Structure 1
Amino acid sequence: MIIAEYDKSRIELKLSGHANYARKGEDIVCAAVSALAFTYAEHNGGYTENNGAMVIKAVSRDPVEERILDVIIGGLRMISREYPDNLLIKENIQRHAGETAERKEHEI
């Protein structure tokens, strides 16, 4: 399963795992998630790897960057609805300024 974690407070997306929908080179879930991830990475000037995970951070904090992340997450949610066994989305939610963030998991 691919796990997509995003943090709106930091405008960051982290992807890890494997879809395991089909064999390598034939996995449409992996291809769809990869297309969105690499599009977002290209916009932000690349990505880093952290313990095998792809981490993409916005180049700046502004409403346009937040909206771009929203669009990418929207695409991931559409994939997750069709393939819930292959993609899990985790959202980091800030409730109030200064409070600790909590994790909310979506199997949409």
Structure 2
Amino acid sequence: MTSVQTEALRDLATRLTAQSDALSGNTRATVAALAMPKEAYPLFSLAAWDDYEKVRSGIENVTIAVQDILETTGTALTRVAAHYEQMEQEHSESFTYDNG
């Protein structure tokens, strides 16, 4: 039997992982689709393409970093919950939580 705390940790881990998956699928695909060919800019403003691409690629890099953070945090919370559950099994009579 698990405690309320480990169930809450696992629930949060699941939600963080789901957000990570959403970033991986939807957001990264959307940001990648925002790329524009150089031909879209007039010759006198070709530097604008470089600027736009730097911004777009920066947003893509931030999205990847946030996805990694969410995934890593979800994994860590799952491991913490598993550790607490193991401690509860091994030391059930002396392993308790303060509710408050």
Q: TM-score when scaled to structure 2? A: 0.32
Greater C-alpha Rg: 2
The answer to which structure, 1 or 2, has the higher relative contact order (CA under 8 A, 6+ apart) is 2
Q: TM-score when scaled to structure 1? A: 0.30
Task: Decide which structure has greater strand share.
Answer: 1
